[in-house]
Structure 1
Amino acid sequence: MPEHDPAIPPDPGPVPAAVPRPARYVFLLLDRFTLVSFSAAIEPLRLANRIAGRPLYDWRLVGEGGAFARCSNGARIMLDGGLEDGNRGDTVLVCGGLDIARATSRPVLAWLRREARRGARIGALCTGAWVLAEAGLLAGRRCTIHWENQDAFAEEFPDATLIRTVFVEDGNRLTAAGGTAAIDLMLRQIARDHGEALAGRVADQMIHTAIRSEEDHQRQSVPVRLGARHPRLAQVVARMEANIEEPLSPARLAQDAGLSPRQLERLFARYLGRSPKRHYMALRLERAQNLLLQTEMSVIEIALACGFASTAHFSKCYRAQYGKTPYRKRDG
């Protein structure tokens, strides 16, 4: 056996494969953000690390001021830093909540635009999509937002394509509707990064037995929400909800459902305890209240968007429903 030549270093053997760096998520916590959406997004990442036995993901919590962020429930979360420059491969998730228009500050908008230019994926949870749209990052993009904010969002940002599902991915833009929808969005990311098996184990740890897809809707079906499973009633109410700006007459609704006006009246009286006209009015006023509280639209603009021909008629109906005129409601 030939002796080893001391001038030649010994063979070190196979070079171990480099361990990939953890993917980093940057959570931008806005004032009065919704804690459940933030938790639903960060916990799948923690569990993926635990199950894999190594750091697949890391994260950083940032916000304006860099000290702490206040949740909608009053709790405070300590931050890792302020609005400093991130890394090119980061995924930024904007965590929104209450009073999103007021929480959308100029420094936040400037930081998001800067991060987008740096190549970061940009996403939003709950009402955070409002901030992305305000920053111009959803123009021409598909997106979603919490159902309570959809009417106002559609009015304020017509250049974004609103999809009323639990989450939406459009290229490097991610949006989740709020609540537990963030779990489904993050499970999609984990499955894409590390396989369906790991995502399934994370879901099991969270007792999340039904993983929703991008096609699943946010709200319960009309029959479930009404507490009545009559198919024609559900059909009529769905038509009402889809025609708020230009309300349909009871005769037209009845005709489209294959009913007579009298049959329609009896159907509403039996299952909802009120007439079709009163139910339709309640839907229109509910949308008006959302627009009143969540947008800067004028009262006349809101009246027209909800099918009222004049502010006087709108104000009278609104006061009858809510005990205040729309002007006083907006003033607090």
Structure 2
Amino acid sequence: MQTQVAKPLRYGILLLPHAAMADLALITEVLSRANQLAEKKLYEFLLLSPSGDAMPLTNGIKAPVDLPLSYAPKLDGLFVIADEIAGDVDVDELSKTIHAQATEKLQLIGIGCGSYWLARAGLLNGYRSTIHWQEINRFTEEFPEVIVSSNLYEIDRNRMSCAGGASTLDFMMVLVGQQQGHDFAAQLSELFSMERIRPGNERQRIPLATRIGASQPKLTEAVSLMEANIEEPLTTDDIAYYVGISRRQLERLFKQHLSAVPSKYYLELRLKRARQLLQQTSKSIVQIGLACGFSSGPHFSSSYRNHFGITPREERSSRNTGKNASE
């Protein structure tokens, strides 16, 4: 009786506008190295784009692809790689094409901001998912049906997501380990000189944590409270109370490590959030001001101008001008 040879797993790698070269390189390199280590073809992959045209990456290089997504053969899994959530993507067509591929066994994997586009296609409702830390707030706001985390990566049944960058390598090792065994993944990680494979429940490092490390948990907790309360700002006394230190101690921590008093740091957080909303959403200026904790339009406008040197209206106008020029 002839032994049936297992077919290689076939992955599509869908590049959306300005996908990160690093993510593409890590995914393809891990799959290729796995084939070399096994001395047989465990994986095959196809590079795809929505239209079949070469796709511009974050570094300016245009990556040629094998096929448009609509022409892809049946896949075992589909990586969706994106580095921004403001790209020119036909979401209806993307949704239709992915749904045509989707089966109960098909793995859908968002890398970087790829999970945002999977959510836009209605494919993450009821699943745990993550995204790059810069977009977590918007991701949470836009998709209340998605269970959003700030972890490095999430694996929830056949829906997977990864924050991108260095965490892509950790995720790929875990994915291969699930399919080929942990010993195989350990050998593969040695080829990449990995000291360890980080678990998915390890949280993404936010800039503050990167700057001060774990040595100031009270300060990190205070900033986390601020980030979670943008629309209805807490007072400095409230933050000190919830963190469990005196107001004077809190002010000392901010001055020593962030060179600002808590109220000024909080205001800058809210203004940066407002700028992000002005640049990336179509919400009105009044709505954005209220969403960022400003009680009136004039207060929002003057605070914004004092910090950035232009008014919210000028910010919105410059964004639209730049968008029209690129078109």
| Structure-2-length-normalised TM-score | 0.89
Aligned to 2:39: 53
Number of aligned positions between the proteins: 318
Aligned to 2:235: 249
| 1:156 and 2:146 are equivalent in the alignment | no
| 1:302 and 2:288 are equivalent in the alignment | yes
Q: Please list, as runs of the form range in 1=range in 2, the aligned pairs for 1:71-110 lying within 5 A after superposition.
A: 71-110=57-96
- CA distance in 1 between counterparts of 2:204 and 2:294 reads 28
In 1, are the aligned partners of 2:75 and 2:101 still within 8 Å (CA)?
no
For residue 125 of structure 1, the aligned residue among 111, 131, 134 is: 111
- CA distance in 2 between counterparts of 1:311 and 1:102 reads 31
- CA distance in 1 between counterparts of 2:75 and 2:266 reads 49
State the SS of the aligned residue for 2:102.
helix
C-alpha deviation, 1:79, in angstroms: 0.6
| Structure-1-length-normalised TM-score | 0.88
| 1:292 and 2:278 are equivalent in the alignment | yes
Deviations 1:248-292, CA, capped at 9 Å, x for gaps: 101112223343333332332233221110011111222222333
In 2, are the aligned partners of 1:122 and 1:174 still within 8 Å (CA)?
yes
- CA distance in 1 between counterparts of 2:178 and 2:249 reads 52
Could you list the runs of 5+ residues in structure 2 that have no partner in the other structure?
320-327
Percent of residue pairs identical: 34
Aligned to 1:195: 181
C-alpha deviation, 1:124, in angstroms: 1.0
Amino acid of the residue matched to residue 176 of structure 2? I
Gap change, CA 1:52 and 1:290, over 3 Å in 2: same
Could you list the runs of 5+ residues in structure 1 that have no partner in the other structure?
1-14
Q: Please list, as runs of the form range in 1=range in 2, the aligned pairs for 1:220-299 lying within 5 A after superposition.
A: 220=206, 222-226=208-212, 229-299=215-285
- CA distance in 1 between counterparts of 2:37 and 2:79 reads 23
In 2, are the aligned partners of 1:184 and 1:212 still within 8 Å (CA)?
yes
State the SS of the aligned residue for 2:68.
coil
Gap change, CA 1:53 and 1:218, over 3 Å in 2: same
Aligned to 1:8: none
Which moved further from structure 2: 248-257 or 140-149?
248-257
In 2, are the aligned partners of 1:67 and 1:80 still within 8 Å (CA)?
no
State the SS of the aligned residue for 2:69.
coil
In 2, are the aligned partners of 1:188 and 1:199 still within 8 Å (CA)?
yes
Aligned to 1:324: 310
Gap change, CA 1:236 and 1:171, over 3 Å in 2: same
- CA distance in 2 between counterparts of 1:199 and 1:213 reads 13
State the SS of the aligned residue for 1:103.
coil
Ranked by relative contact order (alpha carbons within 8 Å, sequence separation 6 or more), the top structure is 1
C-alpha deviation, 1:85, in angstroms: 4.7
In 2, are the aligned partners of 1:83 and 1:111 still within 8 Å (CA)?
yes
- CA distance in 1 between counterparts of 2:217 and 2:166 reads 29
The RMSD of aligned alpha carbons is 2.2
- CA distance in 1 between counterparts of 2:30 and 2:196 reads 15
| 1:166 and 2:152 are equivalent in the alignment | yes
